[in-house]
Structure 1
Amino acid sequence: MKNIAIGLVLCALSVPVAAEKLTLGVVPQQSPLKMFKVWKPITKYLSEKTGHEIIFKTEKSIAEFEKTLYSGGYDLAYMNPYHFVVANRKQDYQAAVRADKMIRGILVSKNEKDSFNKIIKSKTTRYLFPSPNAFAATLLTKFELLTKYGVDINKQDSYQYVNSHDSVYSGIARSTGDIGGGIQRTYANFGKKKDKNQLNIIYTTDAYPSHPVAFKPSLSTELQSNLKEAFLNIPDELIARLSIKKIIPSNNEEFDAIRDLESKLAVIERK
């Protein structure tokens, strides 16, 4: 009996413990299918490097992504800078890495760039944005139109949220709107050639730190360290899929400029 007991113990010790499954949430700036194709090789790489199964997850709209993120629904997430500020405040997500570049909002139109001042002053201009809290595509472009040109989009009836950056670009090309908000990366990756050939970038905002990958604080220090190291050493051919040249370390304090902008936006909203 003693030998049987020892054998059972050894058997139990030899059974591998199932690796923890982790959900990587990604803000849906483009169609879920397009994003899945881009991120699938990256999650496979992260899984191999960390020994944990990394599961890609996105939502049908940015609003749904925000709801899940702000309730702590992702173990790690790739989000816009404004999302991070809110997620850090609500769920204590910790910024770990980001792209080695700054993010700028853009406004696109079927009109030429030199018509920018005329079209934004027109009371009949129709605006399209991906979502209320898309940082560069919506918040930054609205903020700069107000503070630099005196155009208060929030007081106009002619704007609409259409769920994604690609939907903005298609909508402008098809004359659903006259001006649309986006960012340089998603515009560069917009794949509908017939639509894109009709568009022009007519305005570019100031630059801010780009989208971070942030970790939920419940992840162990060791796991966070392993994930961060994996992101920092990701092969060039994989990060190129995200239109990123290099990933660098980040931290919560790097987004203080976004917190400052958030407070200014709150003041504007209350007026």
Structure 2
Amino acid sequence: MHTLCKALLWCAACVLAGCSDGGPKVILPQYASPASAEPAHVLILGIHPLHNPGRLDAMYGPLVAAVSDAVPGVTLRLEASRDYAEYERKLRDGRFDLALPNPYQTVVAAAAQYRVFGKVARDDDFRGLIIRRRDSAVSQPSDLRGAAFSCPARTAVAACMLPLLWLQQNGLDVRRDLEVREVGSQESSILNVVQGRVAAGATWPPPWRAFQKDYPELAAQVEVLWQTDTLPNNSLMARRDLDEALVSQVAQALFELSSTPAGQALLERAEIAGFEPANALTYAPVGVMLDRYRTAIGELR
């Protein structure tokens, strides 16, 4: 036993000392310390309910991931909302770090907590579309008297407010003669028309294009009957307490998407042309429209 212990001690010494008797050296494993990864600054981006949550993630998720990759130390996390009311509550509570609200939400719901730093490009794309089934007899606004009309929500600017204001200005008493059904999303508004649940409905160009691509057979049953005037497109906003240098980095990454083929593909997937700088003054025309709306139709419920 004594001899065995001595032998074990000798082996251990050889391992530690490398055995200087001419035999092969035993190399102990080296454990590298893990690379120190700088924790990402997670910014929550809230996009208003342009589409249902699943569709919104499919269209904007890759774009958000690309911006995260372009800004060192920053991770953008997309957060959807069930409907317009929930989204507007989150804006008022300052839930998001960054937001992409519609023009009404920009000047009303978000103004206290957020500042405008950019917007979606192509204001000519921000208009209301009033659609009907191709086999419908509706041909003038008065034909909708007493009928049902679908829209995502009363605070959907292009897809409800502008169409209702257009109908009011073209001879239909919207408050008295139209049953406005708030159905929660752009897809639902279009589908209500397809299925004949309403005489007509409202949407706007990006979701209408997406619907035509995704459901061509259904879209073929519907046509655009009237279009409204335009307004400044959806805004990009940052919560007022967010570091300005950080916001500038994210803004630059968003603005540069349209300058590369890869970025253009991401924008096309989201059915938008790109992003561009803007500020609060950009949305002055929205205040004018809201005054006209209140005078013609009344306060939003």
State the TM-score, normalizing by the size of structure 2.
0.79
Structure 2 counterpart of 1:94, from 101, 116, 128? 116
Pair 1:238-2:300 in alignment: no
Structure 2 counterpart of 1:222, from 218, 229, 245? 245
Identity fraction in percent? 21
Pair 1:164-2:185 in alignment: yes
SS for the counterpart of 2:236 is: strand
Tell me the residue number matched to 2:4: none
Tell me the residue number matched to 2:199: 178
Pair 1:24-2:24 in alignment: no
Q: CA deviation at 1:26?
A: 1.0
Query: Does structure 1 conserve the Cα–Cα contact (< 8 Å) formed by 2:149 and 2:178?
Result: no
Q: CA deviation at 1:74?
A: 1.0
Structure 1 counterpart of 2:231, from 205, 208, 217? 208
Tell me the residue number matched to 1:11: none
Change (3 A) 1:95 1:155: farther
Change (3 A) 1:122 1:20: closer
SS for the counterpart of 2:221 is: coil
Task: Provide the rounded CA distance (Å) in 1 between the counterparts of 2:123 and 2:114.
Answer: 24
Question: What amino acid maps onto 1:36 in structure 2?
Answer: D
SS for the counterpart of 1:55 is: strand
Pair 1:134-2:156 in alignment: yes
Could you tell which deviates more after superposition, 59-68 or 204-213?
Answer: 59-68
SS for the counterpart of 2:111 is: helix
Task: Provide the rounded CA distance (Å) in 2 between the counterparts of 1:154 and 1:95.
Answer: 36
Give unpaired runs (5+ residues) of structure 1. 1-13
What are the superposed Cα offsets for residues 102-159 of structure 1, whole Å, 9 maximum, x if unpaired? 3110100014799431x53443321011101000111111111112x13122323622
Query: Does structure 2 conserve the Cα–Cα contact (< 8 Å) formed by 1:99 and 1:212?
Result: no
Task: Provide the rounded CA distance (Å) in 2 between the counterparts of 1:157 and 1:98.
Answer: 32
Tell me the residue number matched to 1:58: 80
Could you tell which deviates more after superposition, 18-27 or 176-185?
Answer: 18-27
Task: Provide the rounded CA distance (Å) in 2 between the counterparts of 1:44 and 1:174.
Answer: 36
SS for the counterpart of 1:240 is: helix
Size of the aligned set, in residue pairs, is 255
State the TM-score, normalizing by the size of structure 1.
0.87
Task: Provide the rounded CA distance (Å) in 2 between the counterparts of 1:223 and 1:116.
Answer: 51
Tell me the residue number matched to 1:154: 175
Task: Provide the rounded CA distance (Å) in 2 between the counterparts of 1:188 and 1:44.
Answer: 23
Task: Provide the rounded CA distance (Å) in 1 between the counterparts of 2:86 and 2:228.
Answer: 26
Structure of higher RCO (CA pairs closer than 8 Å, 6+ residues apart):
1
Give unpaired runs (5+ residues) of structure 2. 1-34, 258-262
Query: Does structure 1 conserve the Cα–Cα contact (< 8 Å) formed by 2:120 and 2:272?
Result: no
Q: CA deviation at 1:71?
A: 2.0
Tell me the residue number matched to 2:3: none
What are the superposed Cα offsets for residues 63-88 of structure 1, whole Å, 9 maximum, x if unpaired? 21122122211111112111111134
Task: Provide the rounded CA distance (Å) in 2 between the counterparts of 1:242 and 1:200.
Answer: 22
Task: Provide the rounded CA distance (Å) in 2 between the counterparts of 1:43 and 1:218.
Answer: 21
Q: CA deviation at 1:230?
A: 0.6
SS for the counterpart of 2:129 is: strand
Change (3 A) 1:42 1:260: same
Pair 1:47-2:68 in alignment: yes
Task: Provide the rounded CA distance (Å) in 2 between the counterparts of 1:261 and 1:163.
Answer: 23
Pair 1:259-2:280 in alignment: no
What are the superposed Cα offsets for residues 198-217 of structure 1, whole Å, 9 maximum, x if unpaired? 10100000111111221111
- Supply the RMSD in Å over aligned alpha carbons: 2.1
Question: What amino acid maps onto 1:140 in structure 2?
Answer: L
Query: Does structure 1 conserve the Cα–Cα contact (< 8 Å) formed by 2:116 and 2:278?
Result: no
Task: Provide the rounded CA distance (Å) in 1 between the counterparts of 2:139 and 2:74.
Answer: 49
Query: Does structure 2 conserve the Cα–Cα contact (< 8 Å) formed by 1:174 and 1:195?
Result: no
Tell me the residue number matched to 1:187: 208
Tell me the residue number matched to 1:6: none
